[in-house]
Structure 1
Amino acid sequence: MQSENTRFRLCGMDATEFPRIHYIDHPLTQKISMNNTLLKQIIKRVVFAVSTSETRPILTGVSLQIDNHSISVNATDGIRLAQHIEHLDIPMVTSLNVVIPGSTLYDLSKMLSEGENNTTEIEIGNKQIRFVSNGLTVQSALLEGAYPSIKNLIPPSHLSEVIVNTGVLLRVVERVSILAGENVTLSVLPAHKLQLISKSAEVGDVKEEIPLEQMEGEYFKVSFNGKYFRDILRAIDSENLRIKFAGKERPLVIQPVDMTSSTLFLITPMRTQD
């Protein structure tokens, strides 16, 4: 390749030496057709929560569970959890429980074309999964191993519940995380406000308050990883979100308010001296 006084030379390889694609063995375990816009939304809501550590390889994937009436997609790195449940109009005949590499779904979401008529055929085998959409084929091996159960992670009840504007809270978290992104304190104040504080001995501290849309229960104070909380807020498309507090030792439950489908996030609090 050459342009004026610049020339590039790239090394290539013989096409016959390129690895051949090993297609999924038939019969397939499951085959699903899904609108691309919906598929990209589901991926966005969960894939950020996969683990980046190879200590527990199974957590680098997204759990996909299918039963007669719903598709459940879950991801967790041990500190935060993202769950989306899509209810089906037509019941599935075959149940399924597989783990898809998070990197595969992340790359897939960037390649899919959105639109009402654009769909993706998802073909799932015993050890592989394939996505086919408008001439694009993405195939990946499934992760082997048992994905940890998340049933006992979600608190069955809560002590407090607040509703706050998602966009306003996201911008505040982004600002206060600049000084100490790994330690942000969230407090619900009697003045019907939500206060966020971040401190750094080397840099300084920052405090900001925003109004609550609604509140029920007692006031509370909890610390968490600001960067992880920010990732959760970025995955929420709803105008408002609901935060449920079940105690200092229990994870915060975060849910979009005006989404028709079921989406839920958890973030584990950090232990502090106070």
Structure 2
Amino acid sequence: MKFTIQRDRLVQSVQDVLKAVTSRTTIPILTGIKLDVTRDGVTLTGSDSDISIESFIPAEEEGNEIVEIKDTGKIVLNARFFSEIVKKLPLNTVEIEVLVNFQTIIRSGKAEFNLNGLDAEEYPHLPQVEEENSFKLPTDLLKTLIRQTVFAVSASETRPILTGVNLKVEGDELTCIATDSHRLAMRKAKIETEVKGEYNVVIPGKSLNELSKILDDNNEPISIVITDNQVLFKAKNLLFFSRLLEGNYPDTSRLIPAESKTDVTVHTKEFLQAIDRASLLARESRNNVVKLSTLEGKVIEISSNTPEVGKVVEEIQAQSIDGEELKISFSAKYVMEALKALEGTDITINFTGAMRPFVIRSLHDNSMLQLILPVRTY
């Protein structure tokens, strides 16, 4: 195997597949990156058996030669050393040649590295996915769906199913839901392409975070292919496989209150900044609790009191407050993360009492909601 390649393209692909490689694996060969060189180009693969990422670099693109292929072949190279080497090579081109016993020479300018490779035949095969069951979304919409929900997944492994995002497809509507049982994020979107069948799967939050990092910000369509235990995201020159979480996701629809007792409309940024300031003193205490009270004249009071640190009180003007007077306590962190995920300059908060979950929505957008459980303070 022998080829010469543009260094920046190689670096980009290595960085992409590296996101699936972990040093904590029981299968030693998975600490490596697989290179598969054919006449069409170079395919790089990284996997930790939960996530697998494949990045393809075509031999030529739009008439420009990217890879000059002298001999085809396959090799697995140590991911950590290979990625550090290619990042620091002196010239814009890199030559990679595999000799006997998987000895691999990496040359660029006057620099020459000799790395011990591994037999690519030992590398596990990627899942075979039948592509009949697929639908497409614009890449930037998919990234938005992930950003607006994934932060609410559970960090605790006590209920593994809650560490993932529930993705449901019914008709032409896609719903993404994440909850850690203290809060819930939900976002709906229309699917413009035809969808065959219905889906209800749970994708690990970790997988979606890594996917979001390697997708470009554009509105190119990305194919999503769902099988019994795998999901494949297929973009141009990129395949991203993730296992699905096993088990049934809880029915969250009954958590969302149908009616409310107090409705507040307020400017998102002003509300967020007031909670941020109140949380400065609350951060010391274990639960980071901030209190909200409604006052006369459409005024909201945001306060926090940590006896060993001090207290803070701030009033902000709401656009409207309807319904009963209210005093409620909540986690500042949860509300701030919810507000950052919402779009639009104004939000509506629907409260159903001091000890009931409350719902935050963008004022003119029903495609998304954030639900948060209050904190009991005595």
TM (normalized to structure 2)? 0.66
**Deviation of 1:27 (Å):** 5.8
**Deviation of 1:87 (Å):** 3.1
Q: 1:16 aligns with which of 120, 132, 135?
A: 120
Query: Aligned partners of 2:276 and 2:373: how far apart in 1?
Result: 19
2:322 corresponds to:
216
Query: Aligned partners of 1:217 and 1:13: how far apart in 2?
Result: 69
2:272 corresponds to:
170
**Deviation of 1:108 (Å):** 1.2
2:66 corresponds to:
none
Query: Aligned partners of 2:114 and 2:343: how far apart in 1?
Result: 43
1:76-125 Cα deviation digits (max 9, x unpaired): 00000001111345663301110000111111112111223x22111111
**Deviation of 1:17 (Å):** 7.0
Query: Aligned partners of 1:200 and 1:105: how far apart in 2?
Result: 37
- Larger mean CA deviation between 119-128 and 139-148 belongs to 119-128
- SS in structure 2 of the partner of residue 265 of structure 1: strand
Q: Is the 8 A contact 1:24 1:125 kept in 2?
A: no
Please provide the CA RMSD for this pair.
Answer: 2.2
Query: Aligned partners of 2:354 and 2:246: how far apart in 1?
Result: 35
Q: 1:245 aligns with which of 344, 351, 358?
A: 351
Matched, 1:270 2:375: yes
Query: Aligned partners of 1:68 and 1:221: how far apart in 2?
Result: 41
1:232 corresponds to:
338
Query: Aligned partners of 1:90 and 1:123: how far apart in 2?
Result: 13
1:92 corresponds to:
195
2:251 corresponds to:
149
Letter in 2 for 1:45: Q
- SS in structure 2 of the partner of residue 152 of structure 1: helix
1:54-81 Cα deviation digits (max 9, x unpaired): 0000000000111113111100000000
Matched, 1:83 2:186: yes
Letter in 2 for 1:54: E
Q: Is the 8 A contact 1:24 1:129 kept in 2?
A: no
Query: Aligned partners of 1:41 and 1:258: how far apart in 2?
Result: 17
1:6 corresponds to:
none
1:194-221 Cα deviation digits (max 9, x unpaired): 1111111221111111110122112211
- SS in structure 2 of the partner of residue 250 of structure 1: coil
Q: Is the 8 A contact 1:161 1:216 kept in 2?
A: yes
Q: Which fold has the larger relative contact order, with Cα–Cα distance below 8 Å and residues 6 or more apart in sequence?
A: 1
1:159 corresponds to:
261
1:36 corresponds to:
139
Shift of the 25–119 alpha-carbon distance from structure 1 to 2, 3 Å rule, reads closer
Shift of the 10–122 alpha-carbon distance from structure 1 to 2, 3 Å rule, reads farther
- SS in structure 2 of the partner of residue 53 of structure 1: coil
Query: Aligned partners of 1:13 and 1:164: how far apart in 2?
Result: 60
1:69 corresponds to:
172
- Larger mean CA deviation between 237-246 and 17-26 belongs to 17-26
Query: Aligned partners of 2:349 and 2:125: how far apart in 1?
Result: 46
Letter in 2 for 1:51: S
Letter in 2 for 1:102: G
Query: Aligned partners of 1:124 and 1:44: how far apart in 2?
Result: 21
1:129 corresponds to:
231
2:28 corresponds to:
none
Shift of the 11–244 alpha-carbon distance from structure 1 to 2, 3 Å rule, reads farther
> What are structure 2's unaligned runs of at least 5 residues?
1-84, 90-112
Q: Is the 8 A contact 1:24 1:128 kept in 2?
A: no
**Deviation of 1:18 (Å):** 6.8
Aligned length: 266
- SS in structure 1 of the partner of residue 254 of structure 2: coil
TM (normalized to structure 1)? 0.90
1:48 corresponds to:
151
Shift of the 168–17 alpha-carbon distance from structure 1 to 2, 3 Å rule, reads farther
Normalized per residue, the structure richer in strand is 2
